[in-house]
Structure 1
């Protein structure tokens, strides 16, 4: 019985020879460079198809000066960002997106935007908004912010947390203070992270497609690298009602 022999990888020189063009012309066609006649471009494409030619990724990266990789860059030395479930889901979405990019949103701007949403929504509902408590998107930050708010407003009967981590911290602080949820104080979070499904009681929260956010950010990053101008996109959210409000 004859032994199977792995098929030899075809070369760019063989593509050029079969197409009847120079090696540089074949390379320009494969790099989608301009100033190549239609006839030569079609001849190279036929040769590529006939030979089953696949460009070597390393050689292609050297020729185009593009590796097709994107990096996640974090300013500072605090690596706890990678333990945050929100950023973890964003990164998962980015890894699953085109190009495998790893984007991360600006938590400060996100917090400010959600605070503005709260400040705008309260008057629309006929209620006076309380000045927001400072937090850092962590469970401990949520507990501290809730304690500070309760000290200023002992009659507090509702908490909107900027994310589910802080919402879980507020629930813990309320429990420690002997306040019942939602009988005494209602709590609503944001993001619908995994912590929202295991907290006690399970909090009402605003769901947003966090992994989808990562995928869209990766897609937009790749589009920018390719010279395109991606349009802004707002992903849909919805209220998930659970036991805390």
Structure 2
């Protein structure tokens, strides 16, 4: 088994305990998916703060772990067959941790693929659309005078939220039971406050989604994982 300490990333973010899973992340909607999942399943891990600056995510050490220069990423010293596993892409990491632990991915094959289906819904739709809406509302994109980009993402965000509103009718969680689907989706719903886009997407007209996010944020594992690793002090 190759040791974590042999990986180039260890030169910049050294593992204090190389026998446990290492998380390299920042508390963004994508980043906290993994820390929340790790807290939910109770797997020991060590969190390393990787800021979104080029100095971190484009460093040779981080690129050796994720050539796509995005957080989060993990190294697990005890993967399948006892081999070290390194992974990037939050959705892939959620599925890996669910299968490793046997938790939060359903009790049957059908339930497993239903959960994965909704993870993909977030990865391909909710995350990109809400993120782009945030960009064209709060960040540099807000300076663009042409209203069409923001309107495009606003309309698509509203459509996706309507899908969730319908799916949550009469159920507490996306697939009925709490799963990786919820850990993928809910952090992006929570980000609407930060992006200042709640009014744009008609948040008050989504009672099921509102109650769902409140349930999610009330979970102890979520409350800890959503702030892991801690942001640097201003």
- Interval containing the TM-score (normalised by the shorter chain): under 0.3
Structure with a larger share of its residues in helix? 2
Report the structure number with the largest CA radius of gyration: 1
The TM-score normalised by the length of structure 2 is: 0.27
Q: Looking at both structures, which has the greater relative contact order when contacts are Cα pairs under 8 Å and sequence separation is at least 6?
A: 2
The TM-score normalised by the length of structure 1 is: 0.27
